[in-house]
């Protein structure tokens, strides 16, 4: 009961903070917060399939792309579409796609999650780690389609003039909803079954768990929020093109969930802020540097080299990340518990 009240108070506080930030902070700060919020949504949902369920997947860039394009097509008004599609006329369906902001986000999420369902059949019915390679391939296929179906995607030029409804109020709220949803899943029979699949799939099956469905449900849930996140991204950026959804996006999210701890949602939140901040801070690596009077020249991509090394080092020496698969509150509680115990022992 006490826990319930604390949780409700925390929820009210975070909603109030989001509202306060939305109405008081300047645009530059808000755009940083928006970025963090969207990445948090993506990383939290990515952690469900990778961290909680233990199924290595590389899907985010593909599903974010699907969500972004779907939402964008539903949000952009018809006249704008006619003007924008330069290579070929938009397909008739494209001209019929209209929806409000929230419905468009929902449709984006559902579309991504239906595709996840379709991918589940080839991937989860067999043992082996085919999910990773299939989702990696899927990210490329989506790009190939985006380039080759200009009647739907406007090809390499992408879509622009997407109505920018996504402000921090929406993004922050949806991030909170994603966080709470993930926690609710984890502490239900579904989340327990997902963890069981991660720990020992054969033993989970021996408990009567239909592990195919559990994996599929986790994957579809991740995809749903990645689709929604993609829709938010499209509306936040107002322009999208195939080049934004490369593997780089997935890689950043992977770094985040590994740092936060595979399976730890609060760890993921903290890691999102750290990694996004780190990316900004390490920007100097890509620029020209002067070392002992020598100029190194600009090296776009240097940061990614550093982050790749960081990822490997974390895997080799700090596999559990910041919080392992536990939530921050559990870790704190354990610490306090231990301290009280020692205190009691002294008395």
Specify the residue, 126 or 343, whose C-beta has the smaller distance to other proteins: 126
Specify the residue, 108 or 258, whose C-beta has the smaller distance to other proteins: 258
The three-state (H, E, C) secondary structure of the chain, written as one string = CHHHHHHHHHHHHHHHHHHHHHHHCCHHHHHHHHHHHHHHHHHHHHHHHHHHCCCCCCCHHHHHHHHHHHHHHHHCCHHHHHHHCCCCCCCHHHHHCCCCHHHHHHHHHHHHHHHHHHHHHHHHCCCCCHHHHHHHHHHHHHHHHHHHCHHHHCHHHCECCCCCCCCHHHHHHHHHHHHHHHHHHHCCHHHHHHHHHHHCHHHHHHCCCCHHHHHHHHHHHHHHHHHHHHHHHHHHHCCECHHHHCHHHHHHHHHHHHHHCCCCHHHHHHHHHHHHHHHHHCHHHHCCCEECCEECCCCCCHHHHHHHHHHHHHHHHCCCCCCCCCCHHHHHHHHHHHHHHHHHHHC
Give the integer Cα–Cα distance in Å for 281 and 32: 13
Specify the residue, 157 or 304, whose C-beta has the smaller distance to other proteins: 304
Shortest Å, Cβ 231 to other proteins: 20
Shortest Å, Cβ 286 to other proteins: 9
Specify the residue, 74 or 325, whose C-beta has the smaller distance to other proteins: 325
Are 236 and 242 spatial neighbours (Cβ–Cβ below 8 Å)? no
Shortest Å, Cβ 33 to other proteins: 26
Specify the residue, 22 or 192, whose C-beta has the smaller distance to other proteins: 192
Shortest Å, Cβ 96 to other proteins: 26
Shortest Å, Cβ 94 to other proteins: 19
Specify the residue, 149 or 339, whose C-beta has the smaller distance to other proteins: 149
Specify the residue, 32 or 279, whose C-beta has the smaller distance to other proteins: 279
Shortest Å, Cβ 60 to other proteins: 13
> Would you state the structure tokens that stand for residue 145, as one six-digit string?
């389609």
Shortest Å, Cβ 40 to other proteins: 18
């Amino acid at each position: 009961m006490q826990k319930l009240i604390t949780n409700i108070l925390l929820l009210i506080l975070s909603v109030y903070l989001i509202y306060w930030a939305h109405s008081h902070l300047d645009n530059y700060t808000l755009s940083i917060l928006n970025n963090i919020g969207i990445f948090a949504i993506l990383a939290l949902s990515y952690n469900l399939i990778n961290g909680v369920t233990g199924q290595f997947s590389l899907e985010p860039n593909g599903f974010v792309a699907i969500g972004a394009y779907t939402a964008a097509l539903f949000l952009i008004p018809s006249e704008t579409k006619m003007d924008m599609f330069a290579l070929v006329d938009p397909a008739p369906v494209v001209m019929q796609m209209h929806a409000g902001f929230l419905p468009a986000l929902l449709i984006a999420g559902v579309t991504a999650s239906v595709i996840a369902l379709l991918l589940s059949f080839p991937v989860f019915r067999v043992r082996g780690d085919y999910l990773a390679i299939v989702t990696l391939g899927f990210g490329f296929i989506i790009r190939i389609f985006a380039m080759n179906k200009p009647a739907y995607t406007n090809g390499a030029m992408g879509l622009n003039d997407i109505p920018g409804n996504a402000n921090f109020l929406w993004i922050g709220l949806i991030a909170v909803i994603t966080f709470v949803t993930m926690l609710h899943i984890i502490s239900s029979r579904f989340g327990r079954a997902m963890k069981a699949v991660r720990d020992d799939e054969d033993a989970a099956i021996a408990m009567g768990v239909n592990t195919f469905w559990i994996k599929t449900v986790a994957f579809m849930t991740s995809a749903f929020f990645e689709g929604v996140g993609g829709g938010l991204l499209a509306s936040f950026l107002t322009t999208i093109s195939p080049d934004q959804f490369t593997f780089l996006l997935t890689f950043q999210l992977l770094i985040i969930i590994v740092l936060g701890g595979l399976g730890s949602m609060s760890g993921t939140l903290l890691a999102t802020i750290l990694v996004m901040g780190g990316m900004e801070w390490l920007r100097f690596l890509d620029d020209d540097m002067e070392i002992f009077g020598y100029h190194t020249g600009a090296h776009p991509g240097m940061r990614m080299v550093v982050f790749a090394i960081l990822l490997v080092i974390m895997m080799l020496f700090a596999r559990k990340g910041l919080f392992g698969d536990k939530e921050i509150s559990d870790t704190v509680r354990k610490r306090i518990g231990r301290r009280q115990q020692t205190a009691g022992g002294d008395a």
